[in-house]
Amino acid sequence: MDNIWFIATFWMGLALLASLISIRLGISVALIEILLGVVVGNLHPPGHAPLLHTTEWTNFLAMLGSGVLTFLAGAEIDPGSLRANLRASLSIGVLSFLLPFLGVWLFCQYVLDWPLRQAQIAGIALSTTSVAVVYAVMIEGGLSGSAMGKMLLAACFITDFGTVLALGVLFADFNVWLVVFVAVTAVMLWFMPRWTQYLIARLGATRVSEPEVKFLFLVLFFLGGLASSAKSEAVLPAYLLGLVVAGVFLRDKTLVHRMRSIAFAIFTPFYFIKAGLFVSLPALKAGAGIIAVLLLLKMATKTVGVWPLSRYFFMRSREASYTALLMSTGLTFGTISALFGLQNNIINQEQYSVLVTVVILSAFVPTLMAQKWFQPSLRTMVAWGRLYQRRVHAGGRAGGAAGGK
């Protein structure tokens, strides 16, 4: 089937079906889209082309989906809330990265007998937390505005920052484009809040032409182009860009809703369905043992780090389990890290298939467990914020009084 309209119809039909199933079952639409990608992607009638396949333009839309979703995830982080919950977000985010990174790295090197650099790629790919999945779950559940939801998104940011840092330090391609990319990105990020605010203030009334949305897409595309030239990934500046304009988004909720509608209706279905499309059921069968062990190892190391810290930061057992499971998800940065290893000949095709399968399963399994068995109410997530602030401030005052004595 080469007709571009029919191909688009097929993809959008799957996206619509995923939405209807999601509403019916109460499960994140992102997960249903991934699952539909797995199922339909493995339907291959004898003598015929696969029912679902990628094209140049579907790949481009999927790439935009990951970039815009990552940008929105950064933009949803309330700077004030990040500062208020910094201790919890930082602690959970750091351990959520560090323990899986070291655990998977050492397991692959000393148990699976992978060479050092291949084992490091595995550790990085499986240390990530999926901002895309956590963000989608928060949005669909109406939980992103709660203190606990904001703390979770901030912890995801810390975890993935650790992943990016590890990938950059261990495997960076230090060239002139990297210097240009870092310098230009730093300058633009510095000025972006005032540029965006200026556009909204001067042109915000001209809603039909949406100049502020076009401006944000312009900067996203430009920084993505620079990242690509520097052999980096476009989602990295997208995340930072979202973070620096988060204050503007906090004041202009209409802009947030407009960009969110564009992303979830057009771009993200291509990204999530394509992610499922890469899962090969025969490959799953051949490497089922290793895939299962790596998935369990990722979830176990995440839980060992996150669950006790969540309890320490005043969550009940149910919310601590929910937090540990959501921090065990992976998709965007995990897939990117594995693809980086494959494209740079660090890992081979079999290792890539195993890692990507584990990453995609980690987007589905822990999220499903979290939503079905440990989903807290909005009231509980808001109440945690009040309890956290009260206990932290009380601890601070007690510490200050003790120090004064």
Report d(CA 182, CA 16) in Å as an integer. Answer: 39
Mean pLDDT of 9-38: 85
> Is the model more confident about 399 or about 365?
365
Average pLDDT for 116-126: 93
| Residue 399 scores a pLDDT above 50 | no
Mean pLDDT of the chain: 83
Q: Compute CA distances 132 → 153, 223, 271, 272, 327, whole Å.
A: 10, 20, 10, 9, 12
pLDDT value of position 165: 77
pLDDT attached to residue 163 = 83
What percent of the chain clears pLDDT 70, i.e. is strictly above it? 93
d(CA 330, CA 333): 7
Q: How many CB atoms lie within 10 A of CB 184?
A: 15
Q: Per the structure block, which two tokens stand in for 241?
A: 């860009």
- Max CA distance (Å), the chain: 82
Report the candidate in 170, 183, 175 with the shortest Cα–Cα distance to residue 237: 183
Calculate mean pLDDT across residues 278-300.
85
Task: Indicate if the pLDDT at residue 321 is higher than 90.
Answer: yes
Q: Read off the pLDDT of residues 42-56 as tens digits, 9 standing for 90 and up.
A: 777 766 666 777 888
Q: How confident is the model at residue 405 (pLDDT cuts 50, 70, 90)?
A: very low
* pLDDT tens for each residue of 53-110: 788 888 888 888 878 877 887 777 777 767 777 888 899 999 999 999 999 999 999 9
* Residues 17-41, mean pLDDT to the nearest whole number: 83
Burial 244-256 (b: 16+ CB within 10 A, else e): bbbbbbbebeebb
Taking only the tens place, the pLDDT of each residue in 362-389 is: 888 898 899 888 888 888 888 888 888 8
Taking the C-alpha atoms of 284, 290, 296 and 300 in order, what is their torsion angle to the nearest 10 degrees? -150
Q: How confident is the model at residue 304 (pLDDT cuts 50, 70, 90)?
A: very high
Mean pLDDT of 114-118: 93
The predicted structure's pLDDT at residue 204: 63
Alpha carbon distance 291, 380 (integer Å): 35
pLDDT (tens digit per residue) in 155-214: 888 898 888 778 767 876 677 888 888 899 899 889 888 888 888 777 765 566 778 888
CA 21 to chain centre: 22
pTM: 0.75
What pLDDT is stored for residue 106 in this prediction? 96
